Amino acid sequence: MFAGHLGVALAAKSAEPKAPLGALVAASFGIDLIWPILLLAGVESVAVEPGATAFTPLDFQWYPWSHSLLTVGLWGLLAVGAARALGMSSRVAGILGLVVVSHWVLDALTHRPDLPIWPGGPVVGFGLWNSVPGTFMVEGLLFLGACWIYARRFPPRDATGKAGLLALAALVGVVWAAGPFSPPPPGPEAVAWVTVGLWILPFWAWRVERHRGLDPGRA
């Protein structure tokens, strides 16, 4: 899942306005921010296998430190601790931790059985990616619904606020929707370097938030 992770961050922000949007986006994509670093370090591995699923050609061979349920839970606890250390409330910190864990839950919905419960343990995956229409319907509704709710709850203060959110949603949406129709990447290293680009999203979200405000009528 890709666009759905941004959807979770926007939905969480709508539910708890005090949670920083940049932090929520970092939490929602968190394990995918760690993953390419581990790939480049040779700690985890992925292969390009056209036809692995209908939606993506990636074969996630070994990624227990970024993507097992056990380690994702630990990453979530780390996010809670970091948020509290930065002065955020226990409620906001708890939401950030849950958003980190939500990534694994959404991935379990879309992936074929390749997500480990713990390093070296059993793997799960419900395989939504085996259906392109099904993925577009489920993930698309989550993404578009969350964008709509956020846009209504936090109207733009200026043109930057309006254009920034539109551009962020458009970029994520187009990259996600183009996936099944794009040529496969040349290899694992290319996958890792492209995924490193996800680090821009939390900073982009932080910038968007500075130019949008809570609608008093929806507070």
pLDDT tens, residue by residue, 127-143? 999 999 999 999 999 99
pLDDT value, residue 217? 54
Q: What is the rounded CA–CA span in Å between residue 102 and residue 60?
A: 19
pLDDT tens figures, 3-53: 999 999 999 999 999 999 999 999 999 999 999 999 999 999 999 999 999
pLDDT averaged over every residue in the chain: 96
What average pLDDT does this structure show over 178-204?
97
What average pLDDT does this structure show over 97-125?
98
The model's confidence at residue 91, banded by pLDDT at 50, 70 and 90, is: very high
Instruction: Label residues 10-44 b or e (16+ Cβ within 10 Å = b).
Output: bbbbbeeeebbbbbbbbbbbbbbbbbbebbeeeeb
Q: What is the rounded CA–CA span in Å between residue 204 and residue 22?
A: 7
- Quick one: 4 exposed, middle or buried, by C-beta within 10 A (0-12, 13-18, 19+)? buried
Which DSSP letter does residue 124 get?
A: E
| pLDDT higher than 80, residue 215 | no
Pairing of strands 45-48, 58-62: antiparallel
State the chain's maximal CA–CA distance in angstroms.
51
Instruction: Label residues 186-217 b or e (16+ Cβ within 10 Å = b).
Output: eebeebbeebeebeebbebbeebbebbeeeee
pLDDT value, residue 214? 81
| pLDDT higher than 80, residue 78 | yes
pLDDT value, residue 171? 97
| pLDDT higher than 70, residue 61 | yes
Alpha-carbon distances of 160 from 5, 89, 140, 156, 179, rounded to whole Å: 23, 29, 25, 8, 28
Could you tell me the pTM of the whole model?
Answer: 0.95
Q: At what angle do helices 3-15 and 159-178 cross, to 10 degrees?
A: 140
pLDDT value, residue 161? 96
pLDDT value, residue 216? 57
pLDDT value, residue 14? 96
3-state secondary structure of 4: helix
What average pLDDT does this structure show over 105-126?
98
Which DSSP letter does residue 55 get?
A: S
CA angle 63, 141, 114 (to 5 degrees): 20
Backbone angles phi, psi at 212, to 5 degrees: -135, 150
